[in-house]
Structure 1
Amino acid sequence: MRKFLPAAVMALYAITLTNAGAQEQRPAATAQQAKPLTKADKAAAVELLAQRLSANYVYADIGNKMAAAVRDHLRKGDYEKVATDAEFAELLTAHIQASNPDKHLRIRYAPSAKPDMPRPSATQAMPVGDKKSVTFGNYVNFGFEKVERLPGNIMYLKLDGFFDANLAKAAATAAMNLAANGNAMIIDLRENGGGDPRMVAFVASYLLGDKKVHLSDIYFRADNETDSFWSDPSVPGQRFGADKPVYVLTSGKTFSAAEDFTYNLQAIKRITVVGETSGGGAHPIRPFPIEPNMVAVIPVGRSINLVTKGNWEGTGVKPDVAVAADKALAKANALALRQVMPQVKNPEERKTLEKKLVELEAAL
């Protein structure tokens, strides 16, 4: 399966922003893609980018700082030798990242960039992706890569992206129904680069109880509005519930909405996080066209957890059990086996599980 790259976005256009529905990926410039840029083109793009940053970046002072930086580079002639949109996008990204290292922030080469779209709310439908995005989502089962029953009735779910909830809820329900009868669950987010925060809340609902849980807020600076995300006790199918153990696997590639899922459930002590510290991207984004073939992907809000009052921006989600990413599954499997084995009464099955535990711990 195609991997979701760590520059992915949690934000409200994350999955639909790219052609294939995967996470952020800069296309290579080709003879067909490239077009000559005039001095006037560059000046206009820089000025519009500066205005977008000042008006929309999550922190006004930093937005103004980045705007001043790109204007200064233009004034110094640093863009004079750039010939194509793709090269220009790459250089602008380097300059704004040097001014403010926000992992969600970048300029993308995007042929025939779409005009501005309104920001959807926590309950409003996201824009429907283009046909290629929907086709790709179907092809990869909307991120639900695997559901497997491990010895001891431990359910393993590999989830590689939080696709648009309007499209992915049926796949999520099917996967969570398969996992619902497990004695424990391992959710693998080591390759998950993010997506739709509404999908985060939907999946989290299967791991919680009969009462709504306020999972997180997102504050949007330009609109001075806050969207709230809650669990839904009435999700379709069978829930795993609030009492059985759940382990979430993380790596340095775990990013954005995958961190949102992990951070918020960790904060309410619903899960045990096993693996590496995650990538550290907590600022939702919106795409803003700055030129016919370039889009500025700008963080426009900040996530707020109701327990910590903060988020994971720049720091990542810290695991409860730190272990190399390639050993995280074995470690979580061993921990889960130790929890479920007291429930096993059949001597032969218990013997088999004890052997499996020895194998896992030897591998660690």
Structure 2
Amino acid sequence: MRKFLLAAVMIFSAITARAADKAATVDLLAQRLSDKYIYADEGGKMAAAVRDHLRKGDYDKASTDAEFAELLTAHIQAAHPDKHLSVRFVPNALPDRPRPSPTQGMPAEMRQRMTEFGKYMNFSFEKVERLHGNIMYLKLNGFFEADIAKAAATAAMNLSANGNAMIIDLRDNHGGDPRMVAHLASYLLGDKKIHLSDIYYRADNETNSFWSDPAVPGAHFGADKPVYVLTSGETFSAAEDFTYNLQAIKRITVVGETTGGGAHPIQPFRIDTNLIAVIPVGRSINPITKGDWEGSGVKPDVAIASDKALVKANALALRQVLQNVDPRERSVLEKKLAELEAAL
């Protein structure tokens, strides 16, 4: 009997301690939402929601940290939908770090880890290919941290620089670093310095501005040759930033589907040993439209199913290239164009 009572006390103590841990986690999450979320009113609404669920005992049924994270995410999304917003299960989560800025790079330890990962992923540059008519095709699956990926971007753009037209495939691109967005865009804008976007951070009352840089290393693609950007419903965040801002200055033609609709830069906050709150702390502002693509996505100039977007953009580019092609190549390219249009 004594052993049974001792075991019962230990179990009760563990449950009580876990409940206290959950309460502390919810309280810290609520504080971070109130203090950091880009819109103060909505941050307060989400904070009140998770505290209310805690009072009702709705988190008692979460037996693992992963289940707890899913519940917290569902509750804050129900209070205010934001595709960038979530709570994630991350074993032994790292402490909070300052948010990135245009001038401040990442800590040395993280830089080393991200560099090794980036090399394995080729810094998200999936393919550079020359198509018929000297049309360059670049498939980019992410905007890797500019601190460590600029050399890869320069190599890709050097290979593309002599093309007569360019297709940039962002259909599988889920975002990344806005500094890399500005860096890659610079190769398409020639020798002019152009204001691309701003990001406003409520908690710091600070605005970071992003401009193209005429002095990027390597060869510019140029400001006048046609560029097509392929999109899908999976195109998200920084990939939308690239597309939206270049579309606003009429530098590109967007081909494909309306994008995912996430315009709020994030910052991770540790709210428990194994839980990270990913909170949107800023909002993007385009200098021309004065708005962004949050919730609505970027609308294509040429709407077509994403699986046909490459063929469509290739046909559009080839038709443009044919205007100035060497007569000896014309029949070959006209045949290729007919094949593309037949495939559509």
TM-score for the superposition, normalised by structure 2: 0.94
- The structure showing larger relative contact order (alpha-carbon pairs under 8 Å, at least 6 residues apart) is 1
Q: In the alignment, is residue 202 of structure 1 matched against residue 154 of structure 2?
A: no
**Counterpart residue type for residue 102 of structure 1:** D
Match for residue 120 of structure 1? Answer: 100
Counterparts of residues 305-316 of structure 1 (less than 5 Å): 305-316=286-297
* Partner SS state of residue 87, structure 1: helix
CA distance in 2, matches of 1:184, 1:242: 11
Deviating runs (4+, > 2 A) in structure 1? Answer: 126-136
Percent identity over the alignment?
77
2-side partners of 1:130 and 1:292: how far apart?
A: 23
Aligned alpha-carbon RMSD (Å): 1.3
Give the counterpart of 1:54 among 24, 34, 37. 34
Q: Distance in 1 between matches of 2:23 and 2:111?
A: 31
How many angstroms does 1:124 deviate by? 1.7
State yes or no: 1:106 paired with 2:86.
Answer: yes
Structure 2 matches for 1:92-103, cutoff 5 A? 92-103=72-83
Q: How far apart are residue 314 of structure 1 and its match?
A: 0.2
TM-score where L is the length of structure 1: 0.88
Name 2:60's counterpart in structure 1. Answer: 80
Q: Does 1:359 align with 2:342?
A: no
For 1:188-245, what per-residue CA distance to the aligned partner results, in whole angstroms no more than 9, with x for missing partners? 0000000000000000000002121110000000000000000000000100010000
The residue that corresponds to 2:242 in the other structure is: 261
Which letter does structure 2 place at the counterpart of 1:229? F
Q: Which residue of 2 aligns with 1:286?
A: 267
Mapping for residues 141-160 of structure 1, pairs under 5 Å: 141-160=122-141
Shift of 1:136: 2.2
Structure 1 unaligned regions, length at least 5? 1-34
Question: Match of 1:249?
Answer: 230
Structure 2 segments unaligned to the other structure (5+ residues): 1-13
Do residues 134 (structure 1) and 115 (structure 2) align?
Answer: yes
- CA distance in structure 2 between the aligned counterparts of 1:184 and 1:320, rounded to whole angstroms: 17
Q: How many equivalent pairs are there? A: 329
Structure 1 segment 151-300 matched on structure 2, within 5 A: 151-300=132-281
The equivalent residue for 1:65 is 45
Q: Distance in 2 between matches of 1:162 and 1:254?
A: 12
What is the alpha-carbon distance in structure 1 between the residues aligned to residue 114 and residue 53 of structure 2?
A: 35
Larger Rg: 2
Residue 343 in structure 1 maps to residue 312 in structure 2 = no
- Give the C-alpha shift of residue 123 in structure 1: 2.0
Question: Which string of whole-angstrom CA distances, capped at 9 and with x for unpartnered residues, describes residues 18-46 of structure 1?
Answer: xxxxxxxxxxxxxxxxx987100100000
Q: CA deviation at 1:346?
A: 2.4
Give the aligned partner of residue 11 of structure 2: none
Distance in 2 separating the partners of 1:356 and 1:127: 50
Q: CA deviation at 1:135?
A: 2.2
